[in-house]
Structure 1
Amino acid sequence: MNGLSIRELCCLFCCPPCPSRIAAKLAFLPPEPTYALLPDPDPVAGAAGAASGTGTGVAGAGGAGSEARWKLHLTERAEFQYSQRELDVTDVFLTRSSRGNRVGCMYIRCAPNARFTVLFSHGNAVDLGQMSSFYIGLGTRINCNIFSYDYSGYGVSTGKPSEKNLYADIDAAWHALRSRYGISPENIILYGQSIGTVPTVDLASRFECAAVVLHSPLTSGMRVAFPDTKKTYCFDAFPNIEKVSKIPSPVLIIHGTEDEVIDFSHGLALFERCPKAVEPLWVEGAGHNDIELYSQYLERLRRFINHDLAAPHA
Structure 2
Amino acid sequence: MSKFLIVIAALVAALYLAAFAALAFAQRSFVFQPGGEVLPPAIAGAEVVKLRTEDGETLIAWHVAPAPGRPLLLYFHGNGGNLTLQTELLRALVAGGNGLMAVEYRGYPGSTGSPSEQGLLLDAEAAYAKVLALGTAPERIVVVGQSLGSGVAVALAARHSVGALVLDSPFTSALAVASRLYGMFPVRWVMLDPFPSDERIAKVKVPLLVVHGTADGVIPFAFGKSLYDLANQPKTFMPVEGAGHLSLGYVLPEVRAWIDGAMAR
Query: What percent identity do the matched residue pairs reach?
Result: 30
Which residue is equivalent to 2:136? 183
Q: 1:225 aligns with which of 173, 178, 185?
A: 178
- CA apart distance, 1:93: 1.7
Q: Is contact 2:147–2:169 with CA below 8 Å preserved after alignment?
A: yes
**Residue identity opposite 1:28 in structure 2:** F
Q: Does residue 30 in structure 1 map to residue 34 in structure 2? A: yes
Deviations 1:74-94 (A, max 9, x none): 7xxxxxx56xxx2xx122121
Deviations 1:152-206 (A, max 9, x none): 0112110111111110111111101111x11111000000001111111111111
Which residue is equivalent to 1:139? 94
Distance 2:147 2:50 in 1: 24
C-alpha distance 25-242 of structure 1, shift in aligned 2 (>3 A)? farther
Residue 157 of structure 1: SS of its match in structure 2? coil
Distance 1:309 1:274 in 2: 19
Structure 2 runs not aligned, ≥5 long:
1-11
Q: Is contact 1:215–1:253 with CA below 8 Å preserved after alignment?
A: yes
Distance 2:169 2:263 in 1: 21
- CA apart distance, 1:233: 5.2
Q: Is contact 2:164–2:262 with CA below 8 Å preserved after alignment?
A: no
Q: 1:161 aligns with which of 99, 115, 122?
A: 115
- CA apart distance, 1:277: 4.4
Q: 2:219 aligns with which of 262, 281, 286?
A: 262
Q: Does residue 213 in structure 1 map to residue 217 in structure 2? A: no
Distance 1:154 1:98 in 2: 18
RMSD: 2.7
Which residue is equivalent to 1:121? 76
C-alpha distance 279-262 of structure 1, shift in aligned 2 (>3 A)? same
- CA apart distance, 1:235: 5.6
- CA apart distance, 1:207: 0.8
Q: Is contact 1:208–1:247 with CA below 8 Å preserved after alignment?
A: no
Bigger mean CA deviation after superposition, 25-34 or 184-193: 25-34
Q: Does residue 152 in structure 1 map to residue 106 in structure 2? A: yes
Q: Does residue 284 in structure 1 map to residue 241 in structure 2? A: yes
Distance 1:219 1:151 in 2: 21
C-alpha distance 132-26 of structure 1, shift in aligned 2 (>3 A)? same
Q: Is contact 2:140–2:263 with CA below 8 Å preserved after alignment?
A: no
TM-score by length of structure 2 reads 0.82
Please list every run of at least 4 consecutive aligned residues from structure 1 whose deviation after the TM superposition is greater than 3 angstroms: 232-236
Which residue is equivalent to 1:241? 198
**Residue identity opposite 1:128 in structure 2:** L
- CA apart distance, 1:99: 1.8
Q: Is contact 2:143–2:164 with CA below 8 Å preserved after alignment?
A: yes
Distance 1:291 1:278 in 2: 16
Q: Does residue 91 in structure 1 map to residue 95 in structure 2? A: no
Which residue is equivalent to 1:48? none
Residue 202 of structure 2: SS of its match in structure 1? helix
- CA apart distance, 1:115: 2.3
Aligned pairs, number: 243
Residue 205 of structure 1: SS of its match in structure 2? helix
